[in-house]
Every structure is written in structure tokens, then in C-alpha cells.
Structure 1
């Protein structure tokens, strides 16, 4: 904002200076030329009066050469006097024979010899130098005695004009410098409350507390905006706190009754007839499902109210450990759990993630995959690295810019519309197996975002679902060998593990 305000001030000041200085420069240039022309005319008339008197007294050859020399020296130009026939009488400088013969044909001298009432002012080039010429008639009464021709080099006028333009430019530059300093101070003063608002907004967007901003600084519009932001931030913080408190308190309050209900149902089993035990089993299953849903809500509430810092995590090690933990359960259901590639090699795949998040992401994805995997099918875990993380002895094509964790099943898969809605809380596909809560993928998405990554669902090559978790790799290490990490938005991985 400061830069934009300063540019607007400078643009207006530059436009104003151009509108003032350019016309002023042209007016002065024209005035300077007119002044020099008037001076030349006055000198020509003065020399013409003196020449007329000298010619009348017969002293032209004795007096006029000295007079024209002094006049030429005084004005810095050239002075020539001719008789009525155009023959040279006196000159302040040496003329060639050709120039002497052509004096009478010069327009200014010819007009003066005809006794023109006005002087002829012309600008011409003589010997490569541009001159301003003035001619005046020499006459005594009605008797024509000759003409006086004065030429002045225009370089003097041009130098004065250029000097004035330079002064105007320097003045304009000084004015722009002053406008820059004053405009920068005004822009900083105007933009300071806006910058405070921006910092408070970023802090609020990153999950920080709603810190009120000062409403006593800046223009009235900015103060009004700050007051509105404070009210909005306070209301938003109150609503979020109420939502988190409700979810957390309701989950805590429901856990004890559900545990008691489960225990009572188990105690009823010996007293239930054989034909009614199916209903009892269904009731216990629904109770377990409700308990898992309450645990998920409690985990969501804790995610919203806690803060975490991302740390380097060895994704290879996590994948291998979760593969060992889940393999017996997969075998029990007749499904193979495949770990693709060598995840125990000498080159790890460090990624930045919230502590404990990767384990719970894998647990939820593997639990969903096992629920939909057909008998005899396979579920695979695969890690695809960026090109800079590829192993030396296991080359692959150029990888993605982030580390990708793929959990792929061979189940029925999802339609494109279902994949878009899969991360909504409590949403379950119409043909989904019983027992789910609709919170697993929502929790996975929150954990992935907390770790600075993204998760997408894609159609697998064999018709199932490919859950892709993209995570930021560790970029480098500092001088003492410590891995560089970065804080992230507040979230805590507290979801329950399935096995």
C-alpha cells in the first residue's frame, strides 16, 4: 500500500511539474530570443544614426571602421555598413571578395537599401554557424545613404535557453525529491494501521488468537475498518470456541454412557434367547460404531484447539512399521497388504509432518481399504519421491516435487462426485460397508493439512481407489547438521488407531 500511495503522489507531482515547467520553458525561450532581437535592432539603429552623420560630414572612411569594431565587440557579433549601391563601406571582420559582391543581394540588406520602415530579422547559417541577422537603413531625411547589417550567433541564445531548461529540470527534480520524502512519510502513516490489520488477519487465519488492533491511528475510514475487524474477530473467536467446547464436552459426556450401555448389553447376552441374539449383536455393533464416532468427534475437537510444529519424519520407517502392524489383520480377512519398493534401504525419505500424524493417516487409509477390499485382493503402500530423493541403485522416472504416499485398493472405487464429497464429515457412500462413521477421511485430511500437505482420491488402475497423500520433503540442514523445520498452522494429531 505504501508503494502504491507513493507512486500516486509522485505521478501527480510529476504531471503538475510537467504542466507548469514545459510552458514556462517555452515562454522563457521565446522571451530570450525576442530580447536578443530587440537588442540587435537597437544597436543597428544606433549605428545607422552614427553612420548617417559620418557620411554627411564626409568622415565615413575615418570614423566608421572603429565604430563598427567597437559595436561588434560589445554585442559579440558582426557589423557591416554598405552604401546605397551595396558596396562595402565598413566591416567589423574581413570579408572575401565573393561575400563583398553578394552583400547587396542579401534579403535584409536589400530591404534596408529600399528604405523599408521595418527592420528585416532573419535567422540564417553562415560558415556553418547559425546567425540572427538585423538590417536597418541609413538615411538622412529622404536621402538614402546605405544600410547597416548586424549578425549575432544564436549559440549565445541557445546556451541561455539550455541553462534555463537545466535550472527548471533541477528544480523539478528537487520538488520530486521533496514530494517523495513527504509522500513516503504520509504513506507510511496512512498504511501503518492497514499493515497492523494485515498482520492480525494473517495471525487469525493461521489459527492464532484474535488480537485486537488499535483503532486510534490512521484516517477515519481505516479506524472504522479496524473497529469492524475487531468485532468480527471477537465474534468469530467466540463462535469457534463455542463449537470446540460443544464438540469436546458432548464427546466426553457421551463416552461414559456408551461404555455403560456396551457393558449392559454384554451382561444381557446370557439371558437372551438364541433367536434374539442376532438383534443383540446388531445393537452392540451399533454401539461400537457410535463409540468410534464419539472418539472421532473428540479427536476433531482436540485438533481444533491445539497447536503443533512440523518435524522431520522418516516415511520409510513409518510405512514399514504400519505394514508389520496391519499384516496379520489383513491376512485374517484374506487380503494381501503389499509394501512396494525397498523401504528399509540406506537412503530415508524425510518429510515434514506433525508428530504421530503419518501413523494415523496410514491407519485410517488402511482401515478404509480393508473394509472395501474383496477376498483375495491386494492393498498396496507405495512412496514416490521427488527426483532429488531417488535412490542411486533404484532409479525411477522423474518424480513429483513432493513426496507422495499412495494407498491403493482393488475395491469398487468411487465415482468422481463421491470422491469430491468423501472428505465431508459424516458423509458415507451409499454402497459403503456397514460399521463406518464417515469421519476417517475427514480426519485424514485435517492431519495432512496440519503437516503442510494435500490429499486426493483418484481412480486406481484396477478399478479401486488410490488415496494420494502429498507431503513436503525436508529441504536441507543447517551448519551444525540439524534438519531445518518450519512451524505450521495449529492442529494436533490425536485420532484413534484402528488395530
Structure 2
């Protein structure tokens, strides 16, 4: 923003300078040309009087000295003719006397007692100011005088003034740039500190509040208001996180005690009430898992961890090896395949929790004799595909809502498994979506950002571990 403000100030200053200096330069150029023209006309008239007097008195030999002296002092060119238009004197050393100029328009008008002041091109091809005056006394014409003055001298003076104006403009722009830079820095300082404070607040902790002591009053008030809002927001977030954590911890003990008390009732109950007791114990267990899920979410939301490169293939192999014995009692096969996924960005421990939750959900709904497929795809993509009953479009849209469970669900899930998975994936910079699997079942599709390989590491080719087909048993992990 400092650069944009500086450029806007300089553009405005440049516009003002152009509006002032360009007309001033044109006015000076026209004035300089006009002054030169009047000076040439005045000098020509004066020289015409002097030469006419010399011609009248017959002092023709004095004419070369008169015109030569003037030409030497001013740099002009003087030609004197008699009343027939014959050249009597020429200030140019190469000039020829005795030739007739009576046919030239300005000389002819001067011999008719009509002065001429104009711009013309001389024999050398230069632009000159020309003043041709009659040498007369009253109506008696005794000769004519032509005075020419090179325009390049006038142009040089005009160029010098243009250069002076340009130099003045550059100096003014430099001064404006210095002042504008200081002003822009002063204006944007609260904004820079506000940007840094906003970044800190987005990371979860405001260590350095924005500067509210410098800058325009509006920005100082904005910085003060932001600091107050950030402090209030941090207080509310800490209170919310503390409540979730403390409530979860405080609920664990009475829930455990309640479960033990219910189980202790079993010997004293009528056998017909054992079913209701088991259902009550099951609900207490589900409530305990829900409290554990809330505590896990509170910890996740309170943690501000940056993603790190993680080996997707190694993590997947490790989790499959862990779930192999657990799947045996449910008669469900695990089939891992696809090209190696390589390294991906994930917060520490997130990928393991994501795979565990998705496998737990898949095992909950997979009938005996079916297969759970774990498929890798290029670009950090992983699919967990089951052959269970699947989900409708409406259920897939709501599956990531907290505490939501499908209306036709008969398992004892808490409705926190998928929200935890989504939070972990999004915190790692990835996405997770649910799609219908071919035939029946659900395809949980995770896409994480690929991470660069280690220096000197050769990207793997082919599958790093073969297809695994095992049997498992029912698990107690968080449900869909």
C-alpha cells in the first residue's frame, strides 16, 4: 500500500507540474521568438537609417565597416543595396557585391518603401528571422537593407529554458517523493501492524497488538477497536475451549460411576429387565465415547499446528498392519492398492487418526465376507471404499455435521468421527468428500497436498506393498 500511495502522490505531482510547466514553456518559446523578431526589426531599421545617410552623402566605402561591425557583434547577416537593387555591401566575407537583388520579393517591397519582417530559409538552408527595411528619407528611396538572424540561437535559448524547467520538475518530484514516502509510511504504519496482528490472531494468539499511537486518527481508532475486539474474541474462545475441556473431564468420572452402578444392578434385577439394563449400559458407553470425542475436538481446535511432510505409504502400511488382526472376527477383507502416494502435507498424527476413523466407520457397516478397499491415486489422494449400505445424497451432505447420525443407522456411533476427520484433513490443507461406491457402499475420498521429496530421494515406482486381504473383528472406535 505504501508503494501505491507513493505512486499516486507522484502521479498527482507530475500532473500538476505538466499543467504548469508545459504552458509556461510554450509561452516562453513564443515570447522569445517575438522578442527576437522585434529586436531584428529594430536593428534593421536603425541600420537602414545609417546606411541611407552614408549613401546620401556618397560614403559608400564606409558601408562595409558599418555592416561588418554589426554582424561581428550580433552574429547577424546584413546586405545593403542601392535604389536599383544592386548590392553595395555584404557583411558575409563570401558575399558578392555588384549583383542585383531587385527581383527578390522583400527587396522589391523595400524599394517601394514597404518594410518586411518574416521567417525564411537562407541560401545555406538555415531557418532565419529576416527584416528588410527601405533606406529612405521621407518618400525618397536611396536603397534597402536586409538583416537576417539565425533561428538556431533562439532555439538554443528555448531549449535551455525547457531544460531548466525539466530540471526544476525533477527536483520538485524528488522532494515530493521524499515527503510522500514519509507520509505514506506514516499513514500505512497502523495498517502494517494491523495486518501482522490479524495474522497472529488467525494463528490463534495475538502477541503484538496493532500500533494505535501513530498514523491518522481514523486508523488509530481502527487499531484500538481491533485490539478490543481481538481481546474479547480470545477471551470467548478460551472460555469456550476451557468449558469443553473441563466439562468433558468432569463428565468422565460420573459416567464411569454410573456405568458401574448399572452393571451392579444386574444380579438383583428380574431377568426380563436385563435387556433394558444392557441398553442403558450401552447408552452410557456411547455417552462416554461422545465425551471423549468432544474432548478430542476441543483439543484439535485449541491446537495451532503447522502441516509437515508425511510419508503417506508408510502411514497407510502401518495402519493396515494394525487393523489386520482387529478385522479377523468380523470376516471383512482389507485390500490395499494403487500407485505409491509419496509424501503429503499433514499435521503431525492427523493422517493416522483419519485412516483409523475411516476404517472404524467402514468396519461398522461392512457385512461379513465383504472387502474394504484402500486405494491410492496420484496427487496425494486416498480412497477408503466399503461395501456397506452406503448413504443417500442428503445423508452424505450432512455426514460431517457434529452429532448427526443417519436415521436408519443401527450402530452405536457418536456422530463425531467424521467431523473429527474433516477437521484434521482441512487443518492439513486438504479436502475430504463422500461419494457412492460402485455397486453399494461408500467411497471416502481424501485429497492432501503433495509434499516435495527429500533431497536425493528417488520417487518410488510400482506398489510399495502388496494387496492385503485379512479378516477382522468389531471395533470400538468412533462411529460415523
Residue in 1 aligned with 2:172?
A: 175
1:156 aligns with 2:153: yes
- The SS at the match of 1:133 is strand
Q: Distance in 1 between matches of 2:122 and 2:397?
A: 84
**What are structure 1's unaligned runs of at least 5 residues?**
385-398, 480-495
The one-character-per-residue Cα deviations of 1:399-428 (angstroms, maximum 9, x if unpaired) are: 32xx22221223343445543432222223
Which residues of 2 match residues 44-63 of structure 1 at below 5 A? 44-60=44-60, 62-63=61-62
Contact 2:136–2:142 under 8 Å retained in 1? yes
Q: CA RMSD in A?
A: 2.5
Moved more, 453-462 or 291-300: 453-462
2:122 and 2:361 mapped to 1: Cα distance?
97
Deviation of residue 292 (structure 1)?
Answer: 1.0
Aligned 8 A contact 1:111 1:120 in 2: no
Alignment match, 1:39: 39
Deviation at 1:108, TM superposition (A): 2.7
**CA positional deviation for 1:123:** 3.3
Question: Which residue matches 1:115?
Answer: 113
1:281 aligns with 2:278: yes
Q: Distance in 2 between matches of 1:27 and 1:317?
A: 82
Corresponding residue of 2:8:
8
C-alpha deviation, 1:305, in angstroms: 2.5
Distance of 1:291 and 1:443 partners within structure 2 = 16
Aligned partner of 1:251 in structure 2 is: 248
Counterparts of 2:361 and 2:175, CA distance in 1:
68
Provide the secondary structure at the position in 1 that maps to 2:120: strand
Residue 238, structure 1, aligned to residue 245, structure 2: no
Q: 1:49 & 1:161 partners in 2: Cα distance?
A: 31
1:213-264 superposed Cα distances (whole Å, 9 cap, x missing partner): 3321111001100111011101111111111111112111211121112112
> Structure 1 50/252 Cα, relative in aligned 2: closer, same or farther at 3 Å?
same
Unaligned runs of 5+ in 2: 457-475
Q: Size of the alignment, in residue pairs?
A: 459
- Rounded to whole Å, the distance in 1 between the matches of 2:292 and 2:5 is 53
Q: Residues 133 and 321 (structure 1 numbering): CA distance in 2 closer, same or farther, change over 3 Å? A: same
TM-fit CA distance, 1:454: 2.8
Alignment partner of 2:409 out of 432, 444, 458: 432
Counterpart Cα distance in 1 of 2:154 and 2:72: 17
Distance 2:165 2:58 in 1: 53
Per-residue deviation at 1:51?
Answer: 0.9
**Does residue 1:452 correspond to 2:440, yes or no?**
no
Match in the other structure for 1:487? none
Inter-CA distance 274–51: structure 2 relative to 1 (3 Å threshold): same
Give the match's secondary structure for 2:327.
helix
Aligned to 1:376: 369
Report the Cα distance in structure 2 between the residues aligned to 1:210 and 1:455, rounded to whole angstroms. Answer: 33
Corresponding position of 1:18: 18
CA distance in 2, matches of 1:143, 1:130: 32
Contact between 1:210 and 1:234, CA under 8 Å: does it hold in 2?
A: no
Contact 1:210 1:237 in 2 (8 A): no
Q: Structure 2 vs 1, CA of residues 126 and 466 (structure 1 numbering), >3 Å: closer, same or farther?
A: farther
Q: Compared with structure 1, are the counterparts of its residues 182 and 452 closer, same or farther at alpha carbon in structure 2 (3 Å cutoff)? A: same
Find the residue that maps to 1:104 and give its secondary structure. coil
Return the alpha-carbon distance in structure 1 between the equivalents of residues 250 and 108 of structure 2.
119
Identify if the C-alpha distance between structure 1 residues 457 and 170 changes in structure 2 by more than 3 Å, giving closer, same or farther: farther
Does 2:70 align with 1:67?
Answer: no
Q: Are the equivalent residues in 2 in contact too, given 1:124–1:133 (CA < 8 A)?
A: no
* Distance in structure 2 (CA, Å) of the matches to 1:41 and 1:359: 100
Normalised by the length of structure 1, the TM-score is: 0.85
User: Take 2:262 and 2:175, find their aligned partners in 1: how far apart are those partners?
Assistant: 85
Give 1:477 deviation, angstroms: 5.0
Gap change, CA 1:37 and 1:438, over 3 Å in 2: same
- Alpha-carbon offset, residue 364 of structure 1: 0.8
Which residue in the other structure is 1:82 paired with? 81
Cα distance, 1:100–1:289 mapped onto 2, change above 3 Å? farther
